[in-house]
Structure 1
């Protein structure tokens, strides 16, 4: 089997899992020889397929940036994925739990870019200047890998376990916030479910943005102006099911909520 045939096969298996709702075995167990570059190639093949079908990239995500998330999923470095048409939900909306396999939610201090950002070589100051505003966001993650039995290879190939995003309505200039100290609390059905500050995300969400720009740059990808970047969760992800309502309080950035129906 050629490398391209292998990439196509695994991309198709993950795409079928989206449609059928039936997760697949970990790619890292099926094929222990897969590399991180192979995993990103599998991810990229799916993004190209989505673009061909009319679903275009509207944003980017960095995953596994907090120690809590790395411990939760048993990995030791960040990864990235893409946010495309169909992943975005309005704050306060209700989505069907049947659209997902084993969904979880993370609260994130997100950026809206006002300028392109292209690595490698991007500095923190360059990233800061590229940000037009900061918003609160909820990220929906899900795994097309059975029982969340993932390695770094598996989650990368699965578009960093992306499933959806809710972007808050309150947008503030970056310079008006101390994002490292910004406290976020997460509630599930009114009960405390997690908390953290921006510092939990690689020391600062800006560091995650720098990492993303420079890592994507090695693959020839530029972060585009107008895009949303969700830089990673401030706390461990929370599983959700039918009837659940999740609300994150971002202080000056307001609150963002999402509910799930059967």
Structure 2
């Protein structure tokens, strides 16, 4: 794919994010686009956001569970960037008009105490780099019309990132088996899904290793203080104005996201 076409695709995604108007799938507009093109388009879009004043505060792994891969029709993980303006406070109304077609996923978030640089990161390296973990909810969103995405479109679209809500309390890894951490998610008091940490590449820590090594091949380091979202433990759910969603993680705590109603206040 020619550089000029990558630039055009990045500009289309940048404008879609700015105007909240989705665009057709890139695979329909650029017939020769592939995964390499998609990551280059993501980086071009990130450069535009950085020039616009946004600040990177971490990274996310998407499509790291079999459930999410089936839901989105893909067969491999991807990654994207987390920006400071995407972090919402727990229990504070989140305006849905900042998004296009949002969904919500529960994840076990990592906060790093030291830099982690691939491409030769091992599991012990990853464990040593983690300061603590937090229960979290990720708002996933798509700048592609009607979520008609495959792996190429979601990669180019910053791994369909939308927002992050962090809960508590912070927990160190000692004594925790993240594979066995169960999650129950409630929307407006009703159970809408369950999952466990083992759904994320066998363990969320494996996802962290994959991310560090994948980014390391491009010379990108996961930095101390970064928040890392390793992927959802269950299928994403749709959200609507006025919804209140809580994810309870066994042994970790909980996190609650409240979405503003049509009148602009939480229901």
TM-score band, normalised by the shorter chain? Answer: over 0.9
| Shift, 1:165, TM fit | 0.3
1:219 aligns with 2:218: yes
Number of positions where the alignment pairs a residue of Structure 1 with one of Structure 2:
261
| Shift, 1:159, TM fit | 0.1
Q: Distance in 2 between matches of 1:12 and 1:85?
A: 21
Q: Secondary structure at the match of 2:219?
A: coil
Q: Distance in 2 between matches of 1:16 and 1:54?
A: 15
1:22 aligns with 2:21: yes
1:36 aligns with 2:38: no
Q: Secondary structure at the match of 1:171?
A: coil
Alignment-derived partner of residue 265 in structure 2: none
| Shift, 1:92, TM fit | 0.9
Query: Could you report, residue by residue, the CA deviation over 1:25-66 in whole angstroms, capped at 9, with x for unpaired residues?
Result: 000121121111110111111111121222111011000011
Alignment-derived partner of residue 93 in structure 1: 92
Query: Could you report, residue by residue, the CA deviation over 1:124-152 in whole angstroms, capped at 9, with x for unpaired residues?
Result: 11111111101111000000000000010
The aligned runs of 1:77-226 (5 Å cut-off) are 77-226=76-225
Which structure 1 residue ranges, 4+ long, deviate > 4 Å from structure 2? none
Q: Distance in 2 between matches of 1:229 and 1:42?
A: 21
Q: Which moved more, 1:207-216 or 1:23-32?
A: 23-32
Q: TM-score, normalised by structure 2?
A: 0.96
Query: Could you report, residue by residue, the CA deviation over 1:49-89 in whole angstroms, capped at 9, with x for unpaired residues?
Result: 12122211101100001110000000000000000121000
Structure 1: gaps spanning 5 or more residues: none
Q: Distance in 1 between matches of 2:32 and 2:2?
A: 11
Once superposed, what is the RMSD of the aligned Cα atoms?
1.0
Q: TM-score, normalised by structure 1?
A: 0.97
Q: Distance in 1 between matches of 2:129 and 2:89?
A: 25
